[in-house]
Each structure stands twice: as structure tokens, then as C-alpha cells.
Structure 1
């Protein structure tokens, strides 16, 4: 896995935008202005949102990821060397979770989700 692979996956999500909100080389993927994935300057993995703290802890306990530094406890960091299928699944789940949390009005402005 690499930053390029994560970015290529996130680029396929309808309405997803890439930014560097803090400067210094972060890749923050957002939908409707809300972040769903972030690669930090350490370039050792990607942080993604989970449904809740319990889900994040379960994934950490299962060895899927670790607590995402600087993020809420519902976020985990997936190392770049994790299984590609797992990475795709977690990125998709994070995107869907954040997109669903947007207002209906904002959701209506986004391209449809296939």
C-alpha cells in the first residue's frame, strides 16, 4: 500500500475532494467539507473514521489498525502494509459514514453514490 493507492481509491468516491488543511504535506480527503480519510506527514498509514469508539476499539483489538494520533477515539490508522481489500473496505465505510452524516440538503448537491 502507499499514499498513491489510498489517493487513487478515495478519488473514485463521488464528491470527494483532496486538500492539505494544515500545510506540510497532509492528504485530507473530504466529502461535503467533512473529512473521511487523512494521510499524515509521517506517511505510514491512513486514518479513517469508524461508526463509534467501540468499533474502533474492536478493530484495534483485532489488529486491523491502531488509534489514530490526534483524532477522536472513533478514528483508527490503517498501516500501509494492511490487506488491500481491508483498506478499500475501511475507506469506503468511512466515506459512506461521513456522507450519510451530512444534511439532506448538502447530500442532494453531491453526485449520486453508485
Structure 2
């Protein structure tokens, strides 16, 4: 699992864009200007949004994810080495969560997500 895998998933999502807002080699994937995935400059894995802090805590407690440093408690870090299918699912769920919170007018301009 790597930045290349994250890129291959995220670049297919409608309206997804990547930037390095803090400099130093971060990949911040956004939809509608809101981040849904981030790879830090230290490249330990990818941070993704979960439905709520309780679900994030469950993922951390079961060892499926780690706490995402510098992020809200509803975000987790999926470390490199996790199952590819799990990573893909968490990226898509994070995207869907963030997209659902966008203003309706903006959401309506985005095509449906494939799959």
C-alpha cells in the first residue's frame, strides 16, 4: 500500500483534487474544498474521516487503525501494510461522508460516484 494506491482510488472520485496545503510533501485529497484523506509528510499511512469519534475509537481499539495525529477524534490513520480492500473502503467512506456534508448546490454539481 502506498501513495500510488491512494492516488489510484482518489483520482477516480468525482470532484476530488489533491494539493499540498502545508508544504513539505503532504497529499491532501479534497472534494468541494473539504479534505477527506491526507498523507502526511512522514508518509506513515493515510488519514481518513470516520462517521464519528466512537467508530474511530473502535477501529483504533481493534488495531485496524491508529489515532491520526493533528486531526479530530473522528479521523483515523490507516497505516501502510493494511489490507488494500480495507483501505479502499475507508477512502470511499471518508469521501462519501465529506461529500454528504457539502452544500446541496455544490453536491448537485458533482456526478455520481462510480461503483
Describe how 1:48-87 pairs up with structure 2 within 5 A. 48-87=48-87
Where do 5+ consecutive residues of structure 1 fail to align? none
Count of residue correspondences: 114
1:10 match: 10
Give the whole-Å Cα distance in 2 for the aligned partners of 1:7 and 1:41: 15
1:110 match: 110
How does the TM-score come out when normalised to structure 2? 0.96
2:37 partner SS: strand
1:46 partner SS: strand
Q: 1:108 Cα shift?
A: 1.2
Give the whole-Å Cα distance in 2 for the aligned partners of 1:32 and 1:24: 23
Query: How large is the RMSD of aligned CA atoms in angstroms?
Result: 0.7
Q: 1:111 Cα shift?
A: 2.2
1:17-75 Cα deviation digits (max 9, x unpaired): 01111111100000000000000011110000001000100110111111100000000
Where do 5+ consecutive residues of structure 2 fail to align? none
Identify which range, 37-46 or 102-111, moves more after superposition.
102-111
1:29 match: 29
Q: 1:110 Cα shift?
A: 1.5
